[in-house]
Structure 1
Amino acid sequence: MENINKSRLFLASCLALITTAMTFAIRARLETVFGQEGVGLTLEEIGYAFAPAFFGFTIAMIIGGPLVDFLGIKKITWFAFITHAVGIVLTIMADSMTSLFIATLFVGIGNGFVEAALNPLITSMYSDSKTKMLNRFHVWFPGGIVIGSIVGWLVMDVLGLSWQIMVGTLFVPVIIYGVMFFGQKFPVTERVQMGVSNKKMFSSIGKPLFLFMVFCMFLTAASELGTTQRIESLLKETVAVPLLVLAFINGIMALGRLFAGGAIHKLKPSGMLLFSAIFTFIGLWLLTITSGGMTFVSAGIFAVGVTFFWPTMLGFVAEYLPETGALGLSIMGGAGMFSVSLVLPIMGNLMDNEGVNEALRTMSILPAILIVAFLGLNFYMNKKNKIAKT
């Protein structure tokens, strides 16, 4: 890794992820702008307009994953920069469900290219501490949501400025990460370093353990992002400023990921995932029965649960299925975001017709399934470790 400035690349990667995360927070604030009191869309229509943020992400991950090995991490990173910039401009110009859909698609593709390029970048640069550094990198997803939530609150609720100015603030991290990546030398992916053939990589993604993790990624991502992306509608009747609850949740997540090293060492990835599923279930269930200040308590328990889901799922695959390479990480991320694109309209329909508590109760089924799945994973991994030691 000669002439590679790891610290600069890592910092630039964090800024790119901050951009991604800010789009989630700002999009959550846009729900009321484009809702019945603004543009006039129903919650279900908004769910469809927001869905491209997730399936666009999936498309970029699935396309970008294999291309990272062939085109290099650097080119995919610049694809992210371009589509981010286009998506922000189109969002500022959006005035209907269709235009919001197209704008959200570009933003989603940009976010997907960020993950497709930068997760392999992190694992390539820090091959001896993958899960730890992925957690440290993904600090800036909840960290960026906190930033975006506070920016949205300040711009629209405190200063009373337009929503277009709020969206325009996304250009700040985009320009900074573009400048920081400019002219830098990037490493090759870990799969290329290991000399793993394309045939072995593609055969590895058919392993039962990998397919099991993809299934679980559907449920972990939907539990986390399906809930937080619709926080404005879910909590508008129980708290005064739902966006501050979103900031609170993601503040806890950022701190948890920052200091995840010790917990990962003690529990191992499979133990961390079981712990996460239990707390996520309890938190979601409590959100169905609490209001006012107690909502923050319930949200805090939920936050402790979802903190380690995304980076630990990626870290598990990177550590125990490294031959799947960048493609494996992209499939995982893509599966997660695709699941959210499916769940958002379903949640919108439930909220329109059955009410908020019914939507939350339905969402709590997902971590309940994960508790059973991760109990099985722990049993399998412990058995596998015992056999390896004998």
Structure 2
Amino acid sequence: MTSSSVDRKKLYYVGNLSIFMIGLGFAVRANIAPNLQTDIYDKIDLANSASMVGEALGITFTGFALTLLFGSALVDVVGMKRMLLLSALGYIAGSAGLLMAALNPTGASVETMVLVSLLLTGLGWGAVEAAANPMVAALYPEEKTHRLNILHAWWPAGIVVGGLLGVAITALGLPWQLNMFVLMLPALVLAWMVASSVFPVTERVAAGVSYTGMIMELLKRPLFWVFWCCMYLTATAELAPGQWVNISLSNIVGMQGILLLVYVSALMFIMRHFAGPIVARISSVGLLFVGCLAAGIGLYLLSISTSPIAAFAAATVWGAGIAFIWPTMLAIASERFPKGGAVAMGLMGFAGGMAIQFVLPRMGAIFDNAKAEAAGGADKLAGLSPEAMAEVLRYASVESFQAVAVVPLLLLPVFGAIWLYDRSRGTGGAEVITQGPG
């Protein structure tokens, strides 16, 4: 394939749309989480319904992580085009499955349908990350951090659009299932755009690095595995609170939590366009250090906010902290370990996805345990007055959010040490591999 046959601008639009779609899906899941709890899981098990919602939302991240892991390893064989077509199919089929689940009587079969449908959207999400990230790294090898941050700016853009549409659907008293049709539309457009595009090979293939060489590059570089472990915590700081926001923060501050997620996402969309100049001043690892510090402070402030104004102020700190974390972690994997190819970026995304799979059910369990504690026992929940139940839910929400606030602070010594080491050497840590005839 010649470089002249690749339309770099069009492919960047394809990447932006694919990331927009998965951001939209994130907002849709946050929108419908309370509906799934009320319409399905409360009827199955009222005392453990939050844990069940957490498990259902978490399975999306399992699908994401597994597809990203294996998809990144196979993207050079399968091709970016097929991978992105698979992502569109996952979102279309997953949305249709949730619609079907809503039409059936509540029971074990419906619970299974919800899990399978959310798993399908997770598989589609992973396929996007497996293809879009190495595609942009190959298209813009000279400015990876900047371009990957702009690419992932369309993630919060999708959250803004999906969140606002979800609020409108709720405000107008329309069926919550309309959120599924909102998610289907960009998936259909993406499938059409991908089918008519020509895609490049990955940076690793273009440089002539063998598959074995790619694997060996990662095995012999312990610093990669340090960043890989860090990805579990950085993803937890960003994604777990965002997916839980409409359940928890709605109880804490007395407003729709999805509005806070929309606000934070709009902030992230703007900030990610300025990653390049910031990195030029403090480096990618320096950006992660500052981001984790702000994220930890912001999450704690969110958990103790008692009014919408305080919540928006705390959300500003949290949003500024997490704005650059995910794309910068991916960029670091590509910059510092370029021979690691798509697998290096895929492993980072896998770590992020699996972290949420573990964290969301844990947040749900903390929520349920605190709910039972505040009520004086799980058996007392059903007999509480609406006012008493509101206070119980608020207490449980604070507990579940404060448990996550410490996570990004654990990374400060790690990122701080790497940052100081890089500065002592006068380098940002990026490496370059020679491009072969591709």
Once the two structures are superposed, the pairs formed by residues 282-301 of structure 1 within 5 Å of their partners are: 282-292=297-307, 293-301=309-317
Distance 1:386 1:11 in 2: 32
| 1:84 CA displacement | 1.9
Matched, 1:364 2:405: yes
Distance 2:10 2:168 in 1: 30
Give yes or no for contact 1:217–1:332 (8 Å, CA) kept in 2.
Answer: yes
Matched, 1:77 2:84: yes
| 50-59 or 104-113: bigger deviation | 50-59
SS of match in other structure, 2:197: coil
| 1:384 CA displacement | 4.1
| 1:212 CA displacement | 0.5
Equivalent residue for 2:8? 6
SS of match in other structure, 1:274: helix
Q: 1:73 is aligned with what amino acid?
A: M
Report Cα offsets for 1:93-144 as digits up to 9, x if no partner: 2243321111000000000000001101101111111111000100011111
Tell me, which stretches of 5 or more residues in structure 2 are unaligned?
103-109, 371-395, 430-438
Distance 1:171 1:45 in 2: 25
Distance 1:387 1:328 in 2: 18
Q: CA RMSD in A?
A: 1.5
Equivalent residue for 1:125? 139
* Structure-1-length-normalised TM-score: 0.96
Q: 1:336 is aligned with what amino acid?
A: G
Percent identity reads 31
| 1:38 CA displacement | 5.6
Equivalent residue for 2:183? 170
Give yes or no for contact 1:92–1:168 (8 Å, CA) kept in 2.
Answer: no
Give yes or no for contact 1:46–1:97 (8 Å, CA) kept in 2.
Answer: no
SS of match in other structure, 2:198: coil
Q: 2:305 is aligned with what amino acid?
A: T
SS of match in other structure, 2:354: helix
| 1:294 CA displacement | 0.7
Task: Please point out which of 43, 48, 52 is paired with 1:45.
Answer: 52
Equivalent residue for 1:274? 289
Matched, 1:60 2:73: no
Once the two structures are superposed, the pairs formed by residues 307-318 of structure 1 within 5 Å of their partners are: 307-318=323-334
Question: Once superposed, which parts of structure 1, at least 4 consecutive aligned residues long, lie more than 4 Å away?
Answer: none
Give yes or no for contact 1:65–1:327 (8 Å, CA) kept in 2.
Answer: yes
| 1:239 CA displacement | 3.1
SS of match in other structure, 1:205: helix
Q: 2:167 is aligned with what amino acid?
A: W
User: Which protein is bigger by CA-based radius of gyration?
Assistant: 2
Q: 1:255 is aligned with what amino acid?
A: I
Once the two structures are superposed, the pairs formed by residues 328-347 of structure 1 within 5 Å of their partners are: 328-347=344-363
Report Cα offsets for 1:59-84 as digits up to 9, x if no partner: 10011001111222112112212222
Give yes or no for contact 1:275–1:305 (8 Å, CA) kept in 2.
Answer: yes
Matched, 1:247 2:262: yes
Matched, 1:228 2:234: no
SS of match in other structure, 1:128: coil
Distance 1:235 1:147 in 2: 19
Distance 1:362 1:164 in 2: 32
| 1:379 CA displacement | 2.2
| 1:338 CA displacement | 0.7
Equivalent residue for 1:198? 211
Give yes or no for contact 2:84–2:191 (8 Å, CA) kept in 1.
Answer: no
Matched, 1:29 2:31: yes
Distance 2:427 2:275 in 1: 25
Give yes or no for contact 2:16–2:151 (8 Å, CA) kept in 1.
Answer: yes
| 1:382 CA displacement | 2.3
Q: 1:381 is aligned with what amino acid?
A: D
Equivalent residue for 2:393? none
Q: 1:142 is aligned with what amino acid?
A: P
Distance 2:98 2:139 in 1: 34
SS of match in other structure, 1:240: coil
SS of match in other structure, 1:51: helix
Tell me, which stretches of 5 or more residues in structure 1 are unaligned?
none
Equivalent residue for 2:194? 181
Distance 1:33 1:294 in 2: 26
| 1:37 CA displacement | 5.9
| 170-179 or 329-338: bigger deviation | 170-179
SS of match in other structure, 2:406: helix
Q: 1:88 is aligned with what amino acid?
A: S
Give yes or no for contact 2:149–2:327 (8 Å, CA) kept in 1.
Answer: yes
Residues 387, 141 of structure 1: alpha-carbon distance in 2 compared, 3 angstrom cutoff: closer
Report Cα offsets for 1:282-314 as digits up to 9, x if no partner: 101111221211110001100000001000001
Distance 1:259 1:350 in 2: 37
| 51-60 or 82-91: bigger deviation | 82-91
| 197-206 or 133-142: bigger deviation | 197-206
Report Cα offsets for 1:207-230 as digits up to 9, x if no partner: 211100111100000111010100
Distance 1:31 1:71 in 2: 34
Give yes or no for contact 1:82–1:110 (8 Å, CA) kept in 2.
Answer: yes
Equivalent residue for 1:377? 418
| 1:39 CA displacement | 4.9
Report Cα offsets for 1:251-285 as digits up to 9, x if no partner: 11111102222111111101100010110011011
Once the two structures are superposed, the pairs formed by residues 129-168 of structure 1 within 5 Å of their partners are: 129-155=143-169, 157-168=170-181
Give yes or no for contact 2:145–2:332 (8 Å, CA) kept in 1.
Answer: yes
Residues 299, 214 of structure 1: alpha-carbon distance in 2 compared, 3 angstrom cutoff: same
Q: How many residues of Structure 1 are paired with residues of Structure 2 in the alignment?
A: 387
Q: 2:313 is aligned with what amino acid?
A: V
| 1:385 CA displacement | 3.6
Report Cα offsets for 1:11-40 as digits up to 9, x if no partner: 121111111111111111111101146652
